[in-house]
Amino acid sequence: MPLLSVENLRIAFHGRERVTEAVKGISFSLEAGRTLAIVGESGSGKSVTALSLTRLLPEPPTCQVTGAIRYRDRNILDLDRRGLQALRGKEIAYIFQEPSSSLNPVFTVGNQIAEAVRLHLPEVKDVQGRVVEALRQVGIADPERRHSAYPHELSGGMQQRVMIAMALACRPRILVADEPTTALDVTIQKQIIDLLRELRGSAGMSVILITHNFGIVQGFADEVAVMYRGQIVETGPTDEVLRRPRHPYTRALIGCIPRLGARQHRLSTIDHAAIAREMAAQE
């Protein structure tokens, strides 16, 4: 039985003038200890999907979520406020794209991690020890000293490590990483992805990686779900999807990544009209 399964999820935003359907009936599942990548462009509905997993979206009537999100025999969409609070952070934790705006500038990083620990794991006596341990886990040198640093004293890569430490301090079952490396330099991107890969193994977590870049998916995710205009157009094991993409959109998305040493004359771009034609033809 999968750890998390999403069934026919629909998310609609009710504006003043019109209703926007951001997610149009998607289903996917995540096994314990596995990594799923949701790949798509901005506007595909991938980030909204990630937020909906612990209902971090605006309340109805602004935002209507239907379908089912099953996590260990419970439907997250039926949980009350208390149930959600117990779920968020402790069972399912997040890291976001902009570490600098996800951290509170007026508290030390140690303080912020300790806060998360106290909230979710009141049984832990040695909070300070847990904080230092979490910082060491994410590869921050000299954690005894660094935990009293303020966010602005750290570089972008270090801030993202702190975010990961905060997410990991409560040992969640699922880590949702929403574009965790997009705002970072390429060299730092690689370090963060390597770190996530290592932690996933040692902590036995499942990971949902949300990204627009197929480049970081390979070698990291076990499965891929490609999202396009609110729908999942293709799913499968990562290597298979990358090697033999079946959907025209997947092919186009892989094609537009610039590659080292292959100085092709032009990068291929996504021709949405052609994709629509092919999709119609396939049906």
Partner 1 sequence: MTAPATPAAAPLLEVKNLKVHYPLRGGFLKRVVDHVRAVDDVSFTVARGRTTGLVGESGSGKTTIGRALIKLAPISGGSIRYDGSELVGLSNRAFLPFRKRVQMIFQDPFNSLNPRMTIDGIIREPLDLHFPAMSRADKRDRVAALLKRVGLEPEHMHRYPHEFSGGQRQRIGIARALAVEPEFIICDEAVSALDVSVQAQIVNLLQDLQAELGLTYLFIAHDLAVVEHISDHVLVMHQGKLVESAPAEEIYREPKDAYTRRLLDAVPKLAV
User: Contact residues for partner 1 (CB under 8 A)?
Assistant: 41-43, 155-156, 185-190, 212-216, 218, 242-243, 252-254, 256-261, 263-264, 266-270
- Residue among 84 and 267 whose Cβ is closer to partner 1: 267
Angle in degrees, 0-180, between the axes of helices 156-168 and 127-137, rounded to the nearest 10: 130
- Residue among 44 and 54 whose Cβ is closer to partner 1: 44
75: nearest Cα among 65, 63, 90: 65
Q: Where are the alpha helices (DSSP H) in 169-243?
A: 186-203, 238-243
- Residue among 17 and 59 whose Cβ is closer to partner 1: 17
- Residue among 83 and 219 whose Cβ is closer to partner 1: 219
Q: How far apart are CA 201 and CA 218, in angstroms?
A: 16
Q: Shortest Cβ distance from residue 82 to partner 1 (Å)?
A: 38
Query: Which amino acid belongs to residue 140?
Result: I
Extract the tokens encoding 34: 């596995």
Q: Shortest Cβ distance from residue 40 to partner 1 (Å)?
A: 9
Q: Shortest Cβ distance from residue 199 to partner 1 (Å)?
A: 19
User: In which element (H, E) is residue 44 found?
Assistant: none
Contact (CB, 8 A) for 238 and 217: yes
241: nearest Cα among 231, 253, 229, 230: 253
CA distance to 111, 135, 158, 169, per residue, from 128 (Å): 9, 11, 19, 11
Contact (CB, 8 A) for 208 and 175: yes
Q: Shortest Cβ distance from residue 246 to partner 1 (Å)?
A: 14
Q: Shortest Cβ distance from residue 186 to partner 1 (Å)?
A: 5
Q: Shortest Cβ distance from residue 25 to partner 1 (Å)?
A: 23
Q: Is 279 exposed, middle or buried (0-12, 13-18, 19+ CB in 10 A)?
A: middle
- Residue among 63 and 193 whose Cβ is closer to partner 1: 193
- Residue among 112 and 211 whose Cβ is closer to partner 1: 211
Q: Shortest Cβ distance from residue 97 to partner 1 (Å)?
A: 11
Q: Shortest Cβ distance from residue 268 to partner 1 (Å)?
A: 7
- Residue among 202 and 264 whose Cβ is closer to partner 1: 264
Contact (CB, 8 A) for 40 and 56: no
Contact (CB, 8 A) for 157 and 178: no
The phi and psi torsions of 183 (rounded to 5 degrees) equal: -85, 5
- Residue among 44 and 52 whose Cβ is closer to partner 1: 44
Most distant CA pair in the chain: distance in Å?
62
